[in-house]
Structure 1
Amino acid sequence: MSVSAPDSTTDGFLTLFGRRSYLLFLSGRFCGVLATGSQAVIIGWEVYEIARQTMSVAEASFMVGMIGLAQFLPLFALTLFAGETADRYDRRYILAACFATQLLTAAGFAGHSEFGGGLWPIFALAALFGCARAFFQPAASALGPMLVPRHLLPRAIATNSLAAQLASILGPALGGLLCAASPSLGYGVCSGLYAIAGTCALLIRANTRPVVEPGRSRVAQIREGLGYLWANKLVLGAISLDLFAVLLGGATGLLPVFARDVLDIGPQGFGVLRASPAVGALVVAGYLALSPIRSRAGVKMLLAVALFGVMTIVFALSRSFLLSAAALAVLGGADMVSVYIRQSLVQIATPDRMRGRVSAVSTLFIGASNELGEFESGVAARFLGPVGAVAFGGAGSLLVTGIWSRLFPPLRKADRLV
């Protein structure tokens, strides 16, 4: 099975954007990512500010990292069940329920910001947000391919990533501005965006209910998905590489520390740093939408992850705001290549009836690399300091890339995305 059928770029985009259900899906995802990016900036800044009132820089850095752990634990506990749910029930209603839950958490953050209450309510709300994310990603990943012709799926994956990265750029920048004005106002804006996203999901008019084999138990469904993933070493190597490389090399969780105490650039500068990886990813996603990867996919993924590690080290050692932002932008572009290849492998090679379960495992790996990576950064910063922790993580990413190129020969030798 090849990645795509021959079609011109213009005709492909006209067909893709002429589908109302796909545009609603894309719009809802854009609003959801915009809200999540804005909210993450505000939460990170508030937690660090509250913690710094009574804690040292290292201890406050640890508390920022705890946000990632609070979101990851429910993701870890619920993801397999969430994947099976996405393969059993109507996926658009699952998305709408997730957006409604995220709206409630944003309202809770707003109330806490307005009336106070310490750090623990923030962690509790972050855990509830993690529950919504556990169900959201498998359903969203499985829903998208149902809304477009199969030969346009690679272009749809790149376009979806393009919209998500654009929102990832605007979200942190918007979050920084709103945080400087009023955190509670920022959370209110996020609530409105989640409401729009949920409405878009409900307006999708397509058959989004998966075909379920009668008499199949949940345990059997989950076991089947795990068995498929274990048998496909190429997909397993791709998503596990992303897990360990980003788990070690993620610097996002410590950006508030760098903005406040290393670079001294305030909340607005923090918003720029938070958006910089998405700027690089946006450029690369745009290129991939026009010119999808057609050869040497495995080598390109390994090189991209290695570049991710190098740029992480550059960011850690930089004392220039412009150099730091540039390093993060290159880092984001490299990560986009890895994300594109991984998503293409998962979406194209997986039957529709199993997409939720396989996407759930991929989501678990991504969640571990992001949220758990923030926790790892916070713990490392407690002992090595923020600069040492990020530099150590970048070096770890390089090491993992070399090891994975040996452990997973099918990944290294992968040519076309099939």
Structure 2
Amino acid sequence: MRKEQAADTFRAFRNRNYTLFFAGQSVSQIGTWMQRTAVIWVIYSLTHSAAMIGFTVFAQQFPSFLLSLAGGVVADRYSRYRILLITQTASMLQAVLLAVLVLSGHHVIWEILSLSAILGVINAFDVPARQPMVHEMVDNKEDLANAISLNSAMVNLARLVGPALSGIVLQQFGAGICFIINALSFLAVITSLLLMHFAPFSPPAIKKKITAELAEGLRYLKQTRSITILIFLLACLSLLILPYDTMIPVFAKTIFEGNAATYGYLTGAIGLGALGGTFFLASAKRGADLRKFLLGSIVVLGIGLILFSRIAYFPVALPFAIIIGIGSITPMAASITVIQTEAAIHMRGRVMSYVAMAYFGMMPMGSLLIGSISQKIGAQLTMFCQGILAILIALLFGKLLYKKPIKETTDYSSIN
């Protein structure tokens, strides 16, 4: 029975392209989290400002907000496979430039922020292409929800390993080595893409103006209430709750009186919880109500934030960091699974661009907001308030998601 459950949990690996993608992304994501951890630590070490950490996140993610809709149109018009090859190569070059800059010893804050903004531009085209491409990698569509969940689990495994490794490397060798490791990690995902086999790409017969395609995507969202509510939920979480991570360096260095390794272990503990949450999601039975997973995980996140904010002793804080991790990534994983499963095939790129816009648009503004508030009232009180807000958001959107919908008569297959 246990063997059958394990086979069911990892059933998406029956698809060759997906297995290659999973293996390559696993290595690359570890490097990405190492770089992200190192950038935030370098900025905080230079400025000792939570607000500046928020501005760093803003610099990286706001360009993605500005360009994500265009990225969605590009993902629906052109080969997502070729788009990924381009974006992953560009991300590798960005990591190389960051490594050269830091290792030269002449880096200043504005240069790091500029390279972070360049990565945000790359991600604006990478995310809308990469997320829907999972559909093309999975031959048996019954494995799709499992593949999306395993993809989230892989990201969270990297979120566990990457920061912990980064903390050690930062202490022993410095941030530049973290950036070099990230640059090398992109070779794994690029190699996995080159080994994949796809049917020849067939471009859309009729290409419309970008503005027309964007308007078409917006009309589609207006006609699919359930997807729209999920996108608004992600926007609220990204603005008010998920930017809690801008305060983790403050807890590590100021409240727990630690160093880069302390920060790495805290972020790794959050990653461990997130990994457990997504494996739990991946093990969900076919036909399970993922919206209940979504709402439950937001409540868990709220409880974790409240409890973590009250602790001033590092070893005791680690279990609560794990609880935060369980609740922090599962809402995104569950929402993306539901959205990609329910969205029309020809609309997935644009729908995912709106999802990316909700995340990349609200997250940078939320990071600025939370960073500024924590500078005034302290990181502990700010995080406590975020925990209360998370529980209130779960209650509000629980009513909206399970409100009896008005009967819809629109034939979505006619939208083209």
Q: Give the structure-2-normalised TM-score.
A: 0.89
Q: Once the 2 structures are TM-superposed, how far is the Cα of residue 337 of structure 1 from its aligned partner?
A: 3.4
The residue aligned with 1:82 is 71
1:140 to 130, 145, 151: 130
Structure 1 spans left out of the alignment, 5+ residues: 1-7, 53-59, 413-418
Q: Once the 2 structures are TM-superposed, how far is the Cα of residue 373 of structure 1 from its aligned partner?
A: 3.0
The residue aligned with 1:343 is 336
2:27 to 28, 31, 35: 31
The residue aligned with 1:169 is 160
Provide the rounded CA distance (Å) in 1 between the counterparts of 2:255 and 2:201: 50
Provide the rounded CA distance (Å) in 1 between the counterparts of 2:376 and 2:8: 52
The residue aligned with 1:178 is 169
The residue aligned with 1:266 is 259
CA contact (8 A) 1:32 1:194 kept: yes
Residues 272-351 of structure 1: matches in 2 within 5 Å? 272-292=265-285, 294-351=287-344
2:148 to 157, 168, 181: 157
1:207 to 177, 188, 199: 199
User: Is 1:193 the equivalent of 2:185?
Assistant: yes
CA contact (8 A) 2:92 2:186 kept: yes
Task: Give the secondary structure class of the aligned counterpart of 2:77.
Answer: coil
The residue aligned with 1:96 is 85
User: Is 1:228 the equivalent of 2:220?
Assistant: yes
2:16 to 20, 24, 30: 20
2:57 to 68, 92, 95: 68
Residues 354-365 of structure 1: matches in 2 within 5 Å? 354-365=347-358
CA contact (8 A) 1:96 1:199 kept: no
Distance 1:124 1:184, change over 3 A: same
Provide the rounded CA distance (Å) in 2 between the counterparts of 1:210 and 1:316: 52
CA contact (8 A) 1:244 1:397 kept: no
CA contact (8 A) 1:280 1:333 kept: yes
The residue aligned with 1:105 is 94
Q: Once the 2 structures are TM-superposed, how far is the Cα of residue 37 of structure 1 from its aligned partner?
A: 0.7
Task: Give the secondary structure class of the aligned counterpart of 2:378.
Answer: helix
Provide the rounded CA distance (Å) in 2 between the counterparts of 1:168 and 1:371: 19
The amino acid of 1:25's aligned partner reads: F
Provide the rounded CA distance (Å) in 2 between the counterparts of 1:249 and 1:215: 39
The amino acid of 1:198's aligned partner reads: I
Task: Give the secondary structure class of the aligned counterpart of 1:87.
Answer: helix
The residue aligned with 2:409 is none
CA contact (8 A) 1:254 1:374 kept: no
The amino acid of 1:75's aligned partner reads: S
Query: Which digits, 9 at most, give the CA deviation of each residue in 1:43-63, with x for residues without a partner?
Result: 0111111113xxxxxxx1111
Distance 1:402 1:184, change over 3 A: same
The amino acid of 1:227's aligned partner reads: R
The residue aligned with 1:126 is 116
The residue aligned with 1:3 is none
Distance 1:156 1:410, change over 3 A: farther
Residues 405-416 of structure 1: matches in 2 within 5 Å? 405-410=398-403
Query: C-alpha root-mean-square deviation of aligned residues, in Å?
Result: 2.2
Provide the rounded CA distance (Å) in 2 between the counterparts of 1:332 and 1:14: 22
CA contact (8 A) 1:97 1:198 kept: no
Q: Once the 2 structures are TM-superposed, how far is the Cα of residue 11 of structure 1 from its aligned partner?
A: 6.0
Task: Give the secondary structure class of the aligned counterpart of 1:117.
Answer: coil
Distance 1:328 1:233, change over 3 A: farther
Q: Give the structure-1-normalised TM-score.
A: 0.89
Provide the rounded CA distance (Å) in 1 between the counterparts of 2:344 and 2:279: 27
Provide the rounded CA distance (Å) in 1 between the counterparts of 2:216 and 2:278: 32
The residue aligned with 2:392 is 399
Residues 4-19 of structure 1: matches in 2 within 5 Å? 9=5, 16-19=12-15
Q: Once the 2 structures are TM-superposed, how far is the Cα of residue 147 of structure 1 from its aligned partner?
A: 1.2
CA contact (8 A) 2:290 2:338 kept: no
Q: How many residues align?
A: 398
Further displaced range: 370-379 or 115-124: 370-379
CA contact (8 A) 2:293 2:334 kept: no
Task: Give me the identity figure in percent.
Answer: 23
Q: Once the 2 structures are TM-superposed, how far is the Cα of residue 12 of structure 1 from its aligned partner?
A: 5.2
The amino acid of 1:256's aligned partner reads: P
Provide the rounded CA distance (Å) in 1 between the counterparts of 2:72 and 2:40: 29
Provide the rounded CA distance (Å) in 2 between the counterparts of 1:47 and 1:197: 28
Structure 2 spans left out of the alignment, 5+ residues: 406-416
Query: Which digits, 9 at most, give the CA deviation of each residue in 1:4-61, with x for residues without a partner?
Result: xxxx656657763243211221123222321211111100111111113xxxxxxx11
Provide the rounded CA distance (Å) in 1 between the counterparts of 2:369 and 2:286: 32
Distance 1:146 1:256, change over 3 A: same
Q: Once the 2 structures are TM-superposed, how far is the Cα of residue 329 of structure 1 from its aligned partner?
A: 1.3
Q: Once the 2 structures are TM-superposed, how far is the Cα of residue 157 of structure 1 from its aligned partner?
A: 1.3
Task: Give the secondary structure class of the aligned counterpart of 1:214.
Answer: coil
Distance 1:401 1:189, change over 3 A: same
Provide the rounded CA distance (Å) in 1 between the counterparts of 2:292 and 2:258: 38
